[in-house]
Structure 1
Amino acid sequence: MTPEFLCLLCLGLCLGYEDEKKNEKLPKPSLHAWPSLVVEAQSNVTLKCQAPCQNVTFVLCKVNDSAYKQEQISTENEAEFLLTDLKLKDAGSYFCAYKTTASHEWSESSEHLQLVITDKHDELEAPSMKTVAHVCNPRTSGR
Protein backbone atom coordinates (compact mmCIF):
# COMPACT_ATOMS: atom_id res chain seq x y z
CA MET A 1 0.00 0.00 0.00
CA THR A 2 1.20 3.46 -0.79
CA PRO A 3 1.45 6.14 1.88
CA GLU A 4 -1.09 8.29 0.00
CA PHE A 5 -3.61 5.43 0.04
CA LEU A 6 -3.08 4.88 3.76
CA CYS A 7 -3.62 8.59 4.46
CA LEU A 8 -6.83 8.60 2.44
CA LEU A 9 -8.03 5.44 4.17
CA CYS A 10 -7.38 6.92 7.62
CA LEU A 11 -9.06 10.18 6.66
CA GLY A 12 -12.11 8.31 5.37
CA LEU A 13 -12.34 6.23 8.53
CA CYS A 14 -12.02 9.29 10.74
CA LEU A 15 -14.67 11.23 8.83
CA GLY A 16 -16.98 8.21 8.90
CA TYR A 17 -16.51 7.91 12.66
CA GLU A 18 -17.31 11.61 13.10
CA ASP A 19 -20.48 11.24 10.97
CA GLU A 20 -21.50 8.25 13.09
CA LYS A 21 -21.14 10.33 16.26
CA LYS A 22 -23.24 13.10 14.75
CA ASN A 23 -26.15 10.70 14.27
CA GLU A 24 -26.07 9.58 17.91
CA LYS A 25 -28.61 11.17 20.23
CA LEU A 26 -27.04 13.12 23.05
CA PRO A 27 -28.25 12.00 26.49
CA LYS A 28 -30.53 14.20 28.57
CA PRO A 29 -28.94 16.75 30.86
CA SER A 30 -30.15 17.23 34.43
CA LEU A 31 -31.59 20.44 35.85
CA HIS A 32 -31.57 21.41 39.53
CA ALA A 33 -32.58 24.51 41.50
CA TRP A 34 -30.56 26.05 44.31
CA PRO A 35 -31.39 26.84 47.06
CA SER A 36 -34.87 25.40 46.39
CA LEU A 37 -37.69 24.94 43.88
CA VAL A 38 -39.89 27.11 46.10
CA VAL A 39 -38.57 30.64 46.58
CA GLU A 40 -39.95 33.97 47.71
CA ALA A 41 -40.70 36.80 45.31
CA GLN A 42 -37.87 39.33 44.92
CA SER A 43 -35.27 36.69 45.85
CA ASN A 44 -32.84 34.78 43.60
CA VAL A 45 -32.52 31.20 42.44
CA THR A 46 -29.84 29.40 40.45
CA LEU A 47 -30.86 26.79 37.90
CA LYS A 48 -27.95 24.43 37.24
CA CYS A 49 -27.89 22.36 34.05
CA GLN A 50 -25.45 19.43 33.93
CA ALA A 51 -24.38 17.41 30.88
CA PRO A 52 -22.34 14.20 30.64
CA CYS A 53 -19.62 15.94 28.61
CA GLN A 54 -17.55 19.13 28.67
CA ASN A 55 -17.12 22.04 26.26
CA VAL A 56 -20.78 22.46 25.41
CA THR A 57 -23.31 25.20 24.83
CA PHE A 58 -26.26 25.11 27.22
CA VAL A 59 -29.70 26.59 26.75
CA LEU A 60 -32.35 27.23 29.41
CA CYS A 61 -35.96 27.56 28.28
CA LYS A 62 -39.35 28.04 29.90
CA VAL A 63 -42.33 25.87 28.94
CA ASN A 64 -45.11 27.83 27.19
CA ASP A 65 -42.88 30.90 26.78
CA SER A 66 -41.06 30.69 23.46
CA ALA A 67 -39.55 34.14 24.03
CA TYR A 68 -37.65 32.96 27.13
CA LYS A 69 -34.24 31.55 26.22
CA GLN A 70 -30.83 31.87 27.87
CA GLU A 71 -27.67 30.41 26.32
CA GLN A 72 -24.33 29.85 27.97
CA ILE A 73 -21.08 28.34 26.65
CA SER A 74 -19.14 26.29 29.20
CA THR A 75 -15.79 24.52 29.21
CA GLU A 76 -17.10 22.44 32.12
CA ASN A 77 -19.97 19.97 32.09
CA GLU A 78 -22.42 22.39 33.72
CA ALA A 79 -23.85 25.87 33.47
CA GLU A 80 -25.48 28.01 36.14
CA PHE A 81 -28.34 30.31 35.19
CA LEU A 82 -28.99 32.93 37.87
CA LEU A 83 -32.56 34.23 38.03
CA THR A 84 -32.68 37.42 40.11
CA ASP A 85 -35.37 39.59 41.68
CA LEU A 86 -38.00 36.95 40.97
CA LYS A 87 -41.57 37.96 40.21
CA LEU A 88 -44.68 35.80 40.40
CA LYS A 89 -44.66 35.66 36.58
CA ASP A 90 -41.27 33.86 36.73
CA ALA A 91 -42.94 30.78 38.20
CA GLY A 92 -43.37 27.88 35.81
CA SER A 93 -41.67 24.88 34.24
CA TYR A 94 -38.11 25.21 33.01
CA PHE A 95 -35.89 22.79 31.06
CA CYS A 96 -32.42 22.80 29.59
CA ALA A 97 -30.54 21.18 26.72
CA TYR A 98 -26.98 21.30 25.36
CA LYS A 99 -25.02 20.81 22.17
CA THR A 100 -21.41 19.91 21.56
CA THR A 101 -19.15 21.42 18.93
CA ALA A 102 -19.05 18.03 17.19
CA SER A 103 -22.80 17.39 17.15
CA HIS A 104 -24.14 20.88 16.26
CA GLU A 105 -27.55 19.52 17.32
CA TRP A 106 -29.32 19.99 20.63
CA SER A 107 -29.58 17.12 23.08
CA GLU A 108 -32.84 15.81 24.39
CA SER A 109 -34.42 18.20 26.88
CA SER A 110 -33.95 17.69 30.60
CA GLU A 111 -36.88 16.75 32.79
CA HIS A 112 -39.05 19.79 33.46
CA LEU A 113 -38.38 21.60 36.72
CA GLN A 114 -41.36 23.38 38.32
CA LEU A 115 -40.29 26.67 39.92
CA VAL A 116 -42.73 28.07 42.51
CA ILE A 117 -42.58 31.73 43.54
CA THR A 118 -44.36 32.63 46.78
CA ASP A 119 -45.55 36.07 47.79
CA LYS A 120 -44.60 36.37 51.46
CA HIS A 121 -47.14 39.15 52.01
CA ASP A 122 -50.02 36.87 50.93
CA GLU A 123 -48.75 34.05 53.14
CA LEU A 124 -48.68 36.32 56.19
CA GLU A 125 -52.12 37.75 55.48
CA ALA A 126 -53.87 34.44 54.81
CA PRO A 127 -53.60 32.99 58.36
CA SER A 128 -54.83 36.22 59.96
CA MET A 129 -57.85 36.24 57.65
CA LYS A 130 -58.63 32.66 58.68
CA THR A 131 -58.36 33.64 62.35
CA VAL A 132 -60.74 36.57 61.86
CA ALA A 133 -63.21 34.37 60.01
CA HIS A 134 -63.00 31.78 62.78
CA VAL A 135 -63.61 34.32 65.58
CA CYS A 136 -66.46 36.05 63.76
CA ASN A 137 -68.25 32.83 62.82
CA PRO A 138 -71.16 32.39 65.28
CA ARG A 139 -71.08 28.60 64.89
CA THR A 140 -67.44 28.36 66.07
CA SER A 141 -67.51 31.01 68.81
CA GLY A 142 -69.30 28.78 71.30
CA ARG A 143 -72.60 30.73 71.41
Structure 2
Amino acid sequence: MLTEFLSLLCLGLSLGFEDEKKNETLPKPSFSALSSLVVGYRGNVTLRCQSHFQNVTFMLGKLQDSRYRQEQRSTGHKAEFLLTHLEPKDAGMYFCAYKTMVSQEWSGESEYLQLKVRDVHDGHGAMEGKN
Protein backbone atom coordinates (compact mmCIF):
# COMPACT_ATOMS: atom_id res chain seq x y z
CA MET A 1 0.00 0.00 0.00
CA LEU A 2 2.81 2.39 0.87
CA THR A 3 4.53 1.49 -2.41
CA GLU A 4 1.36 2.29 -4.39
CA PHE A 5 0.99 5.60 -2.58
CA LEU A 6 4.60 6.57 -3.27
CA SER A 7 4.24 5.60 -6.92
CA LEU A 8 1.14 7.76 -7.30
CA LEU A 9 2.84 10.61 -5.45
CA CYS A 10 5.86 10.44 -7.79
CA LEU A 11 3.59 10.29 -10.82
CA GLY A 12 1.67 13.35 -9.61
CA LEU A 13 4.85 15.26 -8.94
CA SER A 14 6.30 14.43 -12.35
CA LEU A 15 3.07 15.41 -14.13
CA GLY A 16 3.03 18.66 -12.17
CA PHE A 17 6.66 19.30 -13.16
CA GLU A 18 5.78 18.70 -16.83
CA ASP A 19 2.92 21.25 -16.60
CA GLU A 20 5.32 23.70 -14.95
CA LYS A 21 7.83 23.26 -17.78
CA LYS A 22 5.11 23.99 -20.36
CA ASN A 23 4.31 27.30 -18.69
CA GLU A 24 7.92 28.52 -18.65
CA THR A 25 8.71 31.37 -21.00
CA LEU A 26 11.13 30.32 -23.70
CA PRO A 27 14.23 32.52 -24.01
CA LYS A 28 14.35 34.84 -27.00
CA PRO A 29 16.21 33.53 -30.04
CA SER A 30 19.24 35.25 -31.52
CA PHE A 31 18.71 36.79 -34.94
CA SER A 32 21.28 37.89 -37.50
CA ALA A 33 21.87 38.52 -41.18
CA LEU A 34 24.51 36.52 -43.04
CA SER A 35 25.27 39.53 -45.25
CA SER A 36 24.52 43.25 -45.34
CA LEU A 37 21.04 44.41 -44.39
CA VAL A 38 21.25 47.02 -47.15
CA VAL A 39 20.32 45.16 -50.31
CA GLY A 40 20.22 46.25 -53.92
CA TYR A 41 17.04 46.13 -55.97
CA ARG A 42 16.10 42.47 -56.71
CA GLY A 43 18.90 41.35 -54.36
CA ASN A 44 18.90 38.59 -51.76
CA VAL A 45 19.58 38.29 -48.04
CA THR A 46 19.68 35.35 -45.64
CA LEU A 47 18.39 35.84 -42.10
CA ARG A 48 19.38 33.33 -39.39
CA CYS A 49 17.33 32.54 -36.31
CA GLN A 50 18.95 30.50 -33.54
CA SER A 51 17.62 29.00 -30.30
CA HIS A 52 19.02 27.03 -27.39
CA PHE A 53 16.78 24.07 -28.26
CA GLN A 54 16.73 21.47 -31.01
CA ASN A 55 13.69 20.19 -32.91
CA VAL A 56 11.84 23.49 -33.04
CA THR A 57 9.70 25.40 -35.50
CA PHE A 58 11.09 28.84 -36.35
CA MET A 59 8.97 31.74 -37.52
CA LEU A 60 10.08 34.84 -39.42
CA GLY A 61 7.83 37.87 -39.08
CA LYS A 62 7.72 41.47 -40.21
CA LEU A 63 6.83 44.20 -37.73
CA GLN A 64 4.91 46.36 -40.23
CA ASP A 65 2.88 43.45 -41.67
CA SER A 66 1.14 41.11 -39.23
CA ARG A 67 0.14 38.83 -42.13
CA TYR A 68 3.77 38.25 -43.16
CA ARG A 69 4.96 34.96 -41.74
CA GLN A 70 7.34 32.21 -42.81
CA GLU A 71 7.76 29.04 -40.78
CA GLN A 72 10.51 26.47 -40.94
CA ARG A 73 11.02 23.29 -38.90
CA SER A 74 14.54 22.42 -37.84
CA THR A 75 16.11 19.41 -36.16
CA GLY A 76 19.06 21.59 -35.17
CA HIS A 77 19.40 24.86 -33.26
CA LYS A 78 18.92 27.25 -36.18
CA ALA A 79 17.00 28.06 -39.34
CA GLU A 80 17.98 30.24 -42.27
CA PHE A 81 15.41 32.22 -44.22
CA LEU A 82 16.48 33.22 -47.72
CA LEU A 83 14.68 36.34 -48.97
CA THR A 84 15.08 36.73 -52.73
CA HIS A 85 14.30 39.24 -55.47
CA LEU A 86 13.81 41.98 -52.89
CA GLU A 87 12.04 45.22 -53.74
CA PRO A 88 11.57 48.42 -51.70
CA LYS A 89 8.21 47.12 -50.40
CA ASP A 90 10.14 44.27 -48.69
CA ALA A 91 12.13 46.71 -46.54
CA GLY A 92 11.24 46.90 -42.86
CA MET A 93 11.84 45.49 -39.41
CA TYR A 94 12.06 41.69 -39.24
CA PHE A 95 12.10 39.40 -36.21
CA CYS A 96 11.99 35.71 -35.44
CA ALA A 97 10.55 33.42 -32.77
CA TYR A 98 10.34 29.67 -32.22
CA LYS A 99 8.27 27.02 -30.51
CA THR A 100 9.25 23.61 -29.21
CA MET A 101 7.35 20.39 -29.71
CA VAL A 102 6.60 20.30 -25.97
CA SER A 103 5.46 23.88 -25.42
CA GLN A 104 3.62 24.65 -28.68
CA GLU A 105 3.82 28.29 -27.50
CA TRP A 106 5.94 30.84 -29.37
CA SER A 107 8.98 32.26 -27.65
CA GLY A 108 9.41 35.96 -27.21
CA GLU A 109 10.38 37.87 -30.33
CA SER A 110 14.05 38.29 -31.13
CA GLU A 111 15.71 41.66 -31.50
CA TYR A 112 14.58 43.43 -34.67
CA LEU A 113 16.71 43.69 -37.81
CA GLN A 114 16.04 46.56 -40.21
CA LEU A 115 16.25 45.52 -43.85
CA LYS A 116 16.78 48.29 -46.40
CA VAL A 117 16.26 47.72 -50.12
CA ARG A 118 17.58 50.30 -52.56
CA ASP A 119 15.05 51.55 -55.08
CA VAL A 120 15.78 51.05 -58.76
CA HIS A 121 15.10 54.79 -59.29
CA ASP A 122 17.45 56.16 -56.62
CA GLY A 123 20.55 56.01 -58.81
CA HIS A 124 21.93 52.98 -57.01
CA GLY A 125 19.68 50.27 -58.45
CA ALA A 126 20.42 47.53 -60.93
CA MET A 127 18.67 49.38 -63.74
CA GLU A 128 20.48 52.69 -63.32
CA GLY A 129 20.08 54.98 -66.33
CA LYS A 130 17.23 53.00 -67.95
CA ASN A 131 13.65 54.23 -68.23
Structure with the higher helix share, 1 or 2: 1
Indicate the residue corresponding to 1:27 in structure 2: 27
Indicate the residue corresponding to 1:81 in structure 2: 81
The SS at the match of 2:102 is coil
Indicate the residue corresponding to 1:90 in structure 2: 90
Indicate the residue corresponding to 1:111 in structure 2: 111
1:113-132 C-alpha deviation (Å, 9 max, x unpaired): 1001113652349xxxxxxx
User: Which sections of structure 1, spanning at least 5 residues, go unmatched?
Assistant: 126-143
The SS at the match of 1:68 is strand
Query: 2:46 corresponds to which letter in structure 1?
Result: T
User: How far is 1:55 from its partner?
Assistant: 1.0
Contact (CA 8 Å) 2:118, 2:124: kept in 1 or not?
A: no
Contact (CA 8 Å) 2:61, 2:69: kept in 1 or not?
A: yes
Indicate the residue corresponding to 1:17 in structure 2: 17
Indicate the residue corresponding to 2:50 in structure 1: 50
User: Which sections of structure 2, spanning at least 5 residues, go unmatched?
Assistant: 126-131
State the TM-score, normalized to the length of structure 1. 0.80
Number of matched residues? 124
User: How far is 1:27 from its partner?
Assistant: 0.7
Indicate the residue corresponding to 2:128 in structure 1: none
Query: 2:11 corresponds to which letter in structure 1?
Result: L
Indicate the residue corresponding to 1:129 in structure 2: none
Percent identity, aligned pairs only, is 65
The structure with the largest alpha-carbon Rg is: 1
Indicate the residue corresponding to 1:62 in structure 2: 62
The SS at the match of 2:117 is strand
State the TM-score, normalized to the length of structure 2. 0.86
Query: 1:60 corresponds to which letter in structure 2?
Result: L
